[in-house]
Amino acid sequence: MRLNPLTAKKLNRFRHIKRGYYSFLAILFLTVLSAFAELLINSRALVVHYEGEYYFPTYGEFIPGDTFGLGYSYETNYRDLKERFKTEDSGNWLLMPLVPYDPFENNEYGGIFKPTPPSFSDRHFLGTDTTGRDIVARLFYGLRIALLFSMAFLVLTYVIGIAIGCLMGYFGGLVDLVGQRLIEIWSNMPFLYVVIIVFSVVPSALSNISRILILLTIMVAFSWMGMTYYMRTGSYKEKARDYVAAVEALGGGPIRTIFRHIIPNTLATIVTFMPFTIVGAITAVTALDYLGFGLPPPTPSLGELLKQGTDNLTTAPWIVASSFFALVFLLTLVAFVGEAIREAFDPKKFTVYQ
Amino acid sequence: MKILHSLATLAVPLFVFWGCSSKSDESSKEKDPELQAKAESLKAEVEDYYRTKVALPIEVQDQLENGEVTQEEIDQRAAAGDFPKFFQFKNLENLPTDLAWEDGSDLPEIGSPKAIKGGTSYGTIQDFPRTLRTIGPDSNGSFRTLLLDDVAVLIAHRHPNIDEIGPNGFRYIAGLAKEWAVDKRSQTVYIRIDPKARWSDGEPITSDDFLFKFFFMHSSYIKAPWYNNFYNRFFSGITKYDDLTFSVRVSVDKPNFATYVLEDIPIPEHFYGELGDDFPERYQWRFAPTTAAYTLKDEDIRKGESLTFTRLEDWWAKDKRNFRYRYNYDKRHIRVVRDVAKSFEMFKKGELDAASLTLAEYWYDKLPDDDPLVEKGLVKKAVFYNQRPRPPYAMWINRDKPLLNDRNIRLGIQYASNWQLVIDKYFRGDYQRLNHTAIGYGPFTHPGIKAREFSVDKALEHFAKAGFTERGPDGILVNEAGAKLSVSLTTGYTTLKDALTIIKEEAAKAGLEFRLQIMDNTAGFKLAIEKQHEIHFMAWGYGAEMYPRYWETFHSVNAYNPDGSIKTQTNNLNSMNMSELDDLIDGYRASIDSNEMIKMAHRMEEIIHNDASVVPAFQIPFYRIGYWRWRHYPDDFNLMISESSSEFALSWMDVEEKRRTLRALRSDETFEKSIKVYDQYKN
């Protein structure tokens, strides 16, 4: 792909803003890593060698305990199996991931489900939460969901916001006038109340995935308006330029003009806002979880962990510490990237207005 | 209505004062001709009601409700004198002479003679009350216990330490009554009011306040249909003999019918002169005069922040037996603190006198036995085992839903719900497994039924009988049609979210998927009462009654409408619809013989157990608190049927000790460490 020399220049400049660039790499690394979370943090073994056969339980169907002679038909407890192999010493072995816990299982601490302080020997590197679930697992899977959620949120709000904003800016006049008024009315709907009301009538028979999608839909429905303002002014400005007149003179229709010519020229605005939208989405979903209106339990989430942490500030400070630092770390990285992008794509650096 | 009303919670006492919104009313109240006219027209209305109201037998009421007779026909029959008058006026000469009057003075007194008066107690509530009324819209919140349930002096109180059942039900001690007499043949209770009894505004309490109570409770002004129905259905009349003597007839013949009369309070007639259709708004922020020891002055109400009750210096019952050693604080300060974690920190700083430690994490982790405050003897810990009907924490399965209408599935769910694990590992073995939903009623409680244990094999066996034989890729069972064995489990108890996630994880072992939905309290209860739930987890709050109720929760009239559609807004969360059970419930309601009722109750428990549509979870046999050493409780700590340490207002404080203790907080001074278990009522 050949890049527009201007864009290449901007990217190059972005690379030279060290703080933002490394933050970007760190996020990229985290994102890629989280795609393989099951291999790093999981209660399923990576490899089991049993009676001369190899099993790879990580992905795919569950393997019942009967397969390994454990005498039950539900999912094998691989940590127990490992202990068993050790004591039997019959040549069977298995390899557990780095953190051998999944984010849902309750682990005992002294015979009861309660917060465990961080411990390397148990491989609870950040301890456990109030019902004995591993915090590393909760955090990492929670982070993955937050990232995926915010990406989906970003794409959807931008597609809607940009399309509507550009249409208003390009056509102007009555379309603009009516559109603006409708948006003003729509923005005055109290978002939190809508979430509360919708979730009180959503039938409980729905699966978790559909509940997450409903939450996403509501959040998108109440967040796309912000982008329209920028795109509307952007389009107004670009529309007055000679190249737009040229496109129109050559017979380009509105759709072509907007999507092929105007949008690429307002890219700087869009790109600049992206990281902050992601920050906003992560914060919003965390806040909703904290209030109890977010992702349905027991979905791992930063907000839920934060809530547990503040409730147990004195007795289990590791919960609030882990969730707080994870959130701050993630948001700081994204904010650094955003800052760097804004600087790199600053149009005043490369163009001279005439 | 989440909480089933106990009989003791059926009325409205409070104090006079004017809310901020109607400041100007006070001065003009006497003169305002409009109000005066209103009071007079109300008076005429009341007198007219006293003259014309008739007592309808229950059968006729049922006919009227079912539309078998019309109101016009009833009116005609009433005019013809077919029914007795509800309000009757007689002389003392008409009072039967062979009555056995009692006043409960042969029973041991409650409260500690060591108690001293004085000081201010500090407590919290989570939300500022939405009204100061105790009846009508929004009045059924937790604040009502402070206004009414825990403080009001009733005609007579059940003795809280005695559970022996006498010929007239439980044993009673005198409250507003000087003495009373029960006539079983005519189902009438005769009452002589204590001549000292006064409303908190100084007006004497007379028979007229009891007559007015029935007008009030029957009227549509109060916007409380439950009360309208209750006071119409269960009472067939009141007779006034003189200003301090009256009798009430009860229309249901039950072994404990006297309870309906005794555990009740009057309504101050002089206060409700402006009663009308705007009652909820008009009386929203006014305190009605009360029989209780505490009053609330308007300057002590800080909206959204706090309320302070003040003890009446000259309270009418301050020297009365059973009341003289209670209600000891001069002031009770109640602050709004929404966050439980925050109020606990306030307690640890000494800003609150006591904190509940009933939850295991509070008892063991947040205020452990070796906490410096406990070690230094500044804060004491206590466990009190009480004995009373237990709120049945249970999973209520809606039999009307697909899958759940199959008994094998329900049995499978019983065996797949590992509550014992939750009790052992999450509640740390302190709570007990609930065996069925009617625990704590003495002989009425079935002694033999045991909740089904967790067993993957048995669960799988029952699921297999229902066609779920294979496990899908995620370990959840599927049937031949490919449908997953997945049901939703909802609750309004956010604090018990963790317990349910453990249940979910365990059920997956038996191939059952619970889809959890944790809602806030109101939304959760609404879902269940609208019967939209599949399985709902909750507990009912039961009053300390003599025998369990079955009609509300298990009778088919509360499950389906006559046209076969689901009946909403009732307590039958199981959509229970079994004719055998219906017959037993009808017989049980009609029965006047305790022994027969006991047999029926046991039989009903067996049927319910057999049907497997309630998964009993756990019961809490005690309450635990931590309290600062300046607070004192009686030597035996509290009373058998108490639900919380403050319910009977037995505690007192030592003001000087509080100063000393707070000083010791910053010095090295230590006191005797105190962690006590009061298990005299443990069974």
- State the ipTM, two decimals: 0.81
Q: What number of H helices and E strands is found in chain A?
A: 15, 3
Q: Which of B340, B424, B516 sits opposite A298 (nearest CB)?
A: B516
Interface size A-B, in CB pairs within 8 Å, comes to: 96
Q: Taking CB atoms and an 8 Å cutoff, what residues of chain A touch B460?
A: 73
**Spatial CB neighbours of A103, under 8 Å, sequence gap ≥ 6:** A41, A133, A134, A137, A138, A140, A141, A142, A298, A300
Highest mean pLDDT among A163-167, A302-306, B520-524: A163-167
Looking at the DSSP bridge assignments, the partners of residue A116 are: none
Q: Taking CB atoms and an 8 Å cutoff, what residues of chain B touch A64?
A: 471, 475
B425 and A292 within 8 Å at the Cβ level: the answer is no
B509 and A205 within 8 Å at the Cβ level: the answer is no
**B511, closest residue in chain A (CA to CA):** A74
Question: Given this model, what pLDDT does residue B154 score?
Answer: 95
B516 and A64 within 8 Å at the Cβ level: the answer is no
Question: Which conformational region is residue B49 in: left (phi greater than 0), alpha (psi within -120 to 50 degrees), or beta?
Answer: alpha
Q: How far apart are CA B523 and CA A49, in angstroms?
A: 50
- Strands, E assignment, B175-305: 177-183, 188-193, 235-242, 245-250, 294-302
Q: How far apart are CA A65 and CA A46, in angstroms?
A: 16
pLDDT at A207 over 90: no
pLDDT at A348 over 80: no
**Spatial CB neighbours of B319, under 8 Å, sequence gap ≥ 6:** none
More confident residue, B318 or A5: B318
Nearest Cα neighbor of A99 from A126, A74, A81 is A126
Q: Taking CB atoms and an 8 Å cutoff, what residues of chain A touch B523?
A: 199-200
Looking at the DSSP bridge assignments, the partners of residue B515 are: B488
B488 and A296 within 8 Å at the Cβ level: the answer is no
Question: Given this model, what pLDDT does residue B5 score?
Answer: 33
**A296, closest residue in chain B (CA to CA):** B517
SS3 of residue B222 by DSSP? helix
Q: For B200-315, where are the alpha helices, taking DSSP H only?
A: 207-218, 225-233, 258-262, 279-282
Question: Given this model, what pLDDT does residue B82 score?
Answer: 86
**A291, closest residue in chain B (CA to CA):** B520
Check CB contact of B8 with chain A, cutoff 8 Å: no
More confident residue, A8 or A164: A164
Check CB contact of B321 with chain A, cutoff 8 Å: no
Check CB contact of B536 with chain A, cutoff 8 Å: no
Read off the DSSP letter of residue A124: B
Q: How far apart are CA A236 and CA A168, in angstroms?
A: 9
Q: Which of B425, B456, B508 sits opposite A72 (nearest CB)?
A: B456
Check CB contact of B412 with chain A, cutoff 8 Å: no
A66-75, A187-196, B93-102 — which is least confidently predicted?
A187-196
Q: Taking CB atoms and an 8 Å cutoff, what residues of chain A touch B366?
A: 312, 314-315
Q: In the numeric block, which tokens belong to residue A301?
A: 């989430």
Q: Taking CB atoms and an 8 Å cutoff, what residues of chain A touch B527?
A: 200, 204
| Cis check: omega of the bond before B616, within 30 degrees of 0 | no
Q: Taking CB atoms and an 8 Å cutoff, what residues of chain A touch B341?
A: 310-313
- pLDDT, tens digit, 9 for 90 and up, residues B618-638: 999 999 999 999 999 999 999
Extract the residue ranges of chain B whose pLDDT is less than 70.
Answer: 1-31
Nearest Cα neighbor of A230 from A272, A190, A189 is A272
More confident residue, A273 or B599: B599
B365 and A114 within 8 Å at the Cβ level: the answer is yes
Q: Taking CB atoms and an 8 Å cutoff, what residues of chain A touch B501?
A: 104, 106, 131, 297-298
Q: How far apart are CA B322 and CA B649, in angstroms?
A: 11
Nearest Cα neighbor of B615 from B437, B444, B468, B388 is B437
Burial annotation B45-72 (CB, 10 A radius, 16+ → b, else e): ebeebbeebbbbeeebbebeeeeeeeee
Chain A residues interacting with chain B (CB cutoff of 8 angstroms) = 60-62, 64, 72-75, 104-106, 108, 111-114, 130-131, 199-200, 203-208, 292, 296-298, 310-316
A111 and B425 within 8 Å at the Cβ level: the answer is yes
Q: How far apart are CA B480 and CA B468, in angstroms?
A: 7
Q: How far apart are CA A245 and CA A93, in angstroms?
A: 72
SS3 of residue B486 by DSSP? strand
Q: In the numeric block, which tokens belong to residue B317?
A: 């019952």
B460 and A73 within 8 Å at the Cβ level: the answer is yes
Q: How far apart are CA A157 and CA A281, in angstroms?
A: 11
Confidence of residue A2 (pLDDT cuts 50, 70, 90): low
**B498, closest residue in chain A (CA to CA):** A131
The CA distance from B212 to the nearest CA of chain A, in Å, is 42
**Spatial CB neighbours of B449, under 8 Å, sequence gap ≥ 6:** B435, B436, B605, B606, B609
**A131, closest residue in chain B (CA to CA):** B498
B508 and A74 within 8 Å at the Cβ level: the answer is yes
Phi, psi of B125 (to 5 degrees): -130, 160
**A107, closest residue in chain B (CA to CA):** B425
State the DSSP H helix or E strand holding residue B356, giving kind and residue range, or none if neither: strand B354-356
**B494, closest residue in chain A (CA to CA):** A292
To which residue do tokens 């006297």 refer? B258
**B473, closest residue in chain A (CA to CA):** A61
Q: How far apart are CA A282 and CA A299, in angstroms?
A: 15
Q: Which of A62, A111, A131 sits opposite B501 (nearest CB)?
A: A131
Q: How far apart are CA B573 and CA B528, in angstroms?
A: 7
Q: Taking CB atoms and an 8 Å cutoff, what residues of chain A touch B355?
A: none
Pairing between β-strand B235-242 and β-strand B87-89 as defined by DSSP bridges: parallel
- Strands, E assignment, chain A: 47-50, 53-55, 93-95
Confidence of residue A292 (pLDDT cuts 50, 70, 90): low
Q: Taking CB atoms and an 8 Å cutoff, what residues of chain B touch A104?
A: 501, 505
Pairing between β-strand B614-619 and β-strand B631-632 as defined by DSSP bridges: unpaired
> Considering Cα of B292, then B298, then B303, then B308, what sign does the dihedral take?
negative
**B525, closest residue in chain A (CA to CA):** A200
Check CB contact of B57 with chain A, cutoff 8 Å: no
B361 and A130 within 8 Å at the Cβ level: the answer is yes
Q: DSSP readout, B505-549?
A: HHHHHTT-EEEEEE--HHHHHHHHHTT--SEEEE-----S-SS--
A62 and B473 within 8 Å at the Cβ level: the answer is yes
The CA distance from B20 to the nearest CA of chain A, in Å, is 29
Q: How far apart are CA A150 and CA A160, in angstroms?
A: 15
CA dihedral of residues A106, A112, A118, A123 (deg, nearest 10): -50
The CA distance from B426 to the nearest CA of chain A, in Å, is 5
Gap between the terminal Cα atoms of chain B? 31
Check CB contact of B564 with chain A, cutoff 8 Å: no
Check CB contact of B530 with chain A, cutoff 8 Å: no
- pLDDT, tens digit, 9 for 90 and up, residues A39-63: 999 889 899 998 888 999 888 888 8
What is the length of chain B?
683
Question: Given this model, what pLDDT does residue A200 score?
Answer: 66
Interface of B with A in 336-395 (CB under 8 A): 340-341, 345, 361, 365-366
Is the Cβ–Cβ distance between B581 and B406 less than 8 Å? no
B532 and A204 within 8 Å at the Cβ level: the answer is yes
C-alpha distance from residue B399 to each of B71, B549, B553, B554, B556 (Å): 37, 20, 13, 12, 12
Q: Which of A64, A207, A297 sits opposite B518 (nearest CB)?
A: A297
Question: Given this model, what pLDDT does residue A349 score?
Answer: 63
